[in-house]
Structure 1
Amino acid sequence: MTPAFGMVAGEASGDLLAGLLLGGMQLRWPQLRAFGIGGPHMARLGFDAWWPHDKLAVRGYVEVLRHYREIVGIRRRLRERLLSTPPQAFIGIDAPDFNLDLELALRSRGVKTVHFVCPSIWAWRPERIEKIRRACDHVLCIFPFEPALLHGRGVAATYVGHPLAGVIPMEPDRAAARATLGLQPGDEVLAVLPGSRQSEVQALAGPFFAAAALLQRERPGLRLVVPALPALRGRIEAAAARAGLRDGLLILEGQSHLALAACDLTLIASGTATLEAALFKRPMVIAYRMNAISWQIMRRQALQPWIGLPNILSEDFVVPELLQNDATPEALAGAVLEWLRAPARMAAVQAKFAVLHHQLRRDTARLATDAIETVIHS
C-alpha cells in the first residue's frame, strides 16, 4: 500500500522545515502521497496543498482573533477531509495553536499523530504539555534538551536535530554569495530581514529601513540586502522608499539564505530566521514588535528573559534584542554600529555559533523517518 500522510505547515519557516522532512520521507517511501496545508518548498516535492500555508501565518493574540473564523473553518474542513479517508499518519509541523487541536481530534478517531518541532514549553505556556500528551503519539524535537522534558510527562519524543543545521554549510561561502549578488568582496553588507508575515513586515519594515538609512549616513558604503517573499515585496519596497533608500539597496525574491551567506551581519525579526542567521555564523540584532495587547499577554507568560533562539540556546544575551518600544530606528542603528565597530566581538560570537551548529547537526531525515515508521507500525 502506498503510504499517505496528512501534513500541515503554517508559515514560511514551517514550509521550509516540512520540505526538508518530506524529502527524507520520500527516500524511505518513494511512492508516498502527502496532502494538507503547505507552501512552495513542499509543493516542489509533489505535496498536494489543499490550502496555502500563508492562510495560517498569523502571530499574536489580537492578530489571530481577526482571522479566527477563517482559521477555525479551515481546520474543521481539513479535519473532516482527513477523517473521511484517514492517512497512515498526520504530521503537524510547528504551528501548535492550529495543529495540536487538529491532532487531538484526529488521534481521538484513531489517526496516528506526529508533531514536528516541540512547542516552546520551556520558554512560555508550560501548561501546554498536557495537551501535547493527549494530542501526539510522538514529538520530533529539534533541540537536544527537549525530549527529557517530554518524557517526564509521558510524551514519546525523539531528538532529530535541526534540519537546517544539515543544509547550511559549516563554513558558508561568502565570496560566492557576493559574486552571485554582484557585491564586491570588500563591501560592508547588512542583511535586513523584517519578517515573513504581513503583520511582521507592517510592524518592522518601517523602523528597520529608517535604521538602515541612519546607518548609510554613518557608513556611506554600506550595502543593504533584503530578501522578500513575493507576496510581501510590494510592502517592503514601499517601506524602503519611504525611508529614502535607493543607493546600495538590493531587494531579492526570497533567497534569505543567499542574503545571510553574503552579509557581514543582519538586522532581523525574531523567529526561525534568527537560528538560520546563527547557523550562517552571522552576528545580528534581533527585534520584534506586535500588537500592544498581544505583547503584554506574551510578556506575562514568558519563562525566561530571551526571545531570540540564538540567545535561548546559548542561555545568554550573545546578541542584542530590541523589543516593542525599544525597537526604534536610532536604537537599532546603534546596535548594528556596535557590531561593526567591534570585529573581535563579531569573531567571538561566530565561534559560539559554530559550536551551536555542531550541536544541532544530526541525520535529521533518517532519525525523523525512523520515528515516523515506528509510529505508523505501533
Structure 2
Amino acid sequence: MPSRPVFSLVAGEPSGDLLAGLLMDGLQTRWPEVASVGIGGPQMLARGFQSWWPMDKLAVRGYIEVLRHYAEIASIRRQLKARLLREWPQLFIGVDAPDFNLDLEAGLRSRGIRTVHFVCPSIWAWRPERIDKIRAAADHVLCIFPFEPALLASHGVQASYVGHPLAQVIPAQPDAAAARQALGLREDAAVVALLPGSRRSEMRYLAARFFEAAALMRQARPELQFICPVVPSLLPEMTQLLQASPMAGQVTLLQGQSHAALAACDVTLIASGTATLEAALFKRPMVIAYNMNRMSWRLMHRQQLQPWVGLPNILCEDFVVPELLQDAATPKALAEATLEWLQSPQKVQALQARFGRLHEELRRDTPSLCAEAVAQVLAA
C-alpha cells in the first residue's frame, strides 16, 4: 500500500457514525497516515474524516419514506461511485446502511476495488434473500454478534466477529449519580428517558405519542423527571413537537447526550433500533416501541423471521422487555408498561443481571479486530 493509504467509508445514521468512529480508531492506529473520505457524521469528522455529503441525507427509514427520497439518495450513490472509481481508494468500507451500501459495494467490487461491510445485515431476523447481495458486495463482513460468522460462512461469505463496539464504550457499571448531576437532575425522584429515534421519520411517528405517554405517567407519578436526548439537527423540530404536547415545559430536551440520558435514567421508553442495545448495555429496563407508515409496517412485518423486533429480546431469545409496535403503541399502553418497571424492583434486578451477561458476551477489542481483518483483506 502507499505510505498514505486512502480508505472510503459510508455511514448513514448516528449509530453507524459511532461504529465507524471506533473502526477509524483501529485503522489510524495501524496506519497512522491513513486518509478517510466518503459520507459520515460527527464521530467520524472528529477523527479527521472528509465527508462529501451530509450524513443526514441518508438517514431515512421505512419503505415508503425511502421511496419519497429515492431520487436524491440514488443520485448521491451514483455520484459517490463515480468519484470513487476516479480516485480509487485502497478499500471501501460500508458501515451498516445496507440498502445504500450493498449496491454501492457490489458496483465497486465488480470494478476491482476491495470492499468490507461492517455490521452483518439482519438476515437472521428478516430479508434472508439479502445473503446473495452480501456475497456479491463484500470481500469480508465485520460481524458484531458472535453467531453471525458461521451463518455467513455457510453461504460462502468470509466474515470475522469483532465484538460490538458499544460493549467496549459503555462501562459495565454506569455511574447513574454522576450522570444525573451532569444533567442537573434530582437524586430524589425517578428519571424516565424518552428516546423516540434518531431519524426524522421516527421522530414524527413516535415523539407525540411518547410525550402523551409521559403526560399519563406524570398524572400517576407527579414526581417523575423526564429527559429526551435529541440529534442536534432535529432539535428545532423536537422542540416544536414538545411545545404542542401536554408535556410542554415538563421534559428536558438534551442536545445529543443519549448515553448520559441512559446512564441517568431508571427506565427508558425507546424506539426500536440500535439504541435499545445501548440501553441494555447500560443495564436499563425499557419499553420498546415503534410506529411507522402503515404500508411500510405491513411490508416489514411480512418479512419478519423471529417473534422479536427489539435487539435485547433477539439476543436473549426471549421477551425480556416489552415490545409495543404499531397499533399497540398507544400512549396508555406505553405509559402503563413503563410504570410497571418502576413498580417491580426484583424484576429490574433480574433483567440487569441478564444484561450484564450479554455485555460480557459482546465485549471485544473491536478497533484492533477490525483493523486486523482489514489488513487481511488488503493482503489477500
Q: Aligning the two structures, in what range does the TM-score lie when normalised by the shorter sequence? A: over 0.9
For residue 341 of structure 1, the aligned residue among 330, 343, 349 is 343
Amino acid at match of 2:271: A
Q: Distance in 2 between matches of 1:57 and 1:351?
A: 34
Deviation per CA, 1:237-272: give whole Å up to 9, x if none.
222222222454211110000000000010000000
1:223 CA drift (Å): 0.2
TM-score, L = length of structure 2: 0.98
1:9 CA drift (Å): 0.1
Q: Distance in 1 between matches of 2:254 and 2:125?
A: 33
Equivalent residue of 1:144, what SS?
A: coil
1:327 aligns with 2:332: no
Q: Which residue of 1 aligns with 2:102?
A: 100
Q: Distance in 2 between matches of 1:101 and 1:334?
A: 43
1:186 CA drift (Å): 2.5
Q: Distance in 1 between matches of 2:126 and 2:250?
A: 40
Q: Which residue of 1 aligns with 2:309?
A: 307
Q: How does 1:11-26 map to 2 (within 5 A)?
A: 11-26=13-28
Q: Distance in 2 between matches of 1:236 and 1:85?
A: 40
Q: Which residue of 2 aligns with 1:180?
A: 182
Q: Which residue of 1 aligns with 2:91?
A: 89
Check whether the contact 1:62–1:291 (CA below 8 A) recurs between aligned residues.
yes
Amino acid at match of 2:262: L
For residue 198 of structure 1, the aligned residue among 188, 194, 200 is 200
Q: Distance in 2 between matches of 1:166 and 1:179?
A: 24
Q: How does 1:274-285 map to 2 (within 5 A)?
A: 274-285=276-287
Check whether the contact 2:243–2:249 (CA below 8 A) recurs between aligned residues.
no
Check whether the contact 1:222–1:248 (CA below 8 A) recurs between aligned residues.
no
Percent identity reads: 64
Q: How does 1:203-222 map to 2 (within 5 A)?
A: 203-222=205-224
Q: Which residue of 2 aligns with 1:189?
A: 191
Amino acid at match of 2:309: I
Equivalent residue of 1:158, what SS?
A: strand
Q: How does 1:238-277 map to 2 (within 5 A)?
A: 238-246=240-248, 248-277=250-279
Q: Which residue of 1 aligns with 2:77?
A: 75
Deviation per CA, 1:74-97: give whole Å up to 9, x if none.
000000000101111000000001
For residue 28 of structure 1, the aligned residue among 30, 53, 56 is 30
Amino acid at match of 1:179: Q
Amino acid at match of 1:13: S
1:230 CA drift (Å): 1.6
Deviation per CA, 1:27-85: give whole Å up to 9, x if none.
11111000000011100000000011111111111111000110000000000000101
Q: Which residue of 1 aligns with 2:68?
A: 66
Deviation per CA, 1:183-239: give whole Å up to 9, x if none.
122320000000000000000001000000110111001000110112211222222
Amino acid at match of 2:118: F
Equivalent residue of 2:247, what SS?
A: coil
Q: Which residue of 2 aligns with 1:139?
A: 141
Q: Distance in 2 between matches of 1:181 and 1:63?
A: 34
Amino acid at match of 2:322: P
TM-score, L = length of structure 1: 0.99
Amino acid at match of 1:119: P
Amino acid at match of 2:14: A
Q: Distance in 2 between matches of 1:248 and 1:68?
A: 38
Q: Distance in 2 between matches of 1:262 and 1:175?
A: 7
Equivalent residue of 1:154, what SS?
A: coil
Check whether the contact 1:24–1:365 (CA below 8 A) recurs between aligned residues.
yes
Equivalent residue of 1:305, what SS?
A: coil
For residue 51 of structure 1, the aligned residue among 32, 50, 53 is 53
Q: Which residue of 1 aligns with 2:164?
A: 162
Q: Distance in 2 between matches of 1:182 and 1:133?
A: 49
Equivalent residue of 2:32, what SS?
A: coil
Q: Which residue of 2 aligns with 1:42?
A: 44
Gaps of 5+ in 1: none
1:181 CA drift (Å): 1.0
Amino acid at match of 1:148: A
Deviation per CA, 1:308-349: give whole Å up to 9, x if none.
000000011000000111111000001011111111111111
Q: Which residue of 2 aligns with 1:129?
A: 131
For residue 357 of structure 1, the aligned residue among 343, 356, 359 is 359
Check whether the contact 2:114–2:139 (CA below 8 A) recurs between aligned residues.
yes
Q: Distance in 2 between matches of 1:237 and 1:171?
A: 32
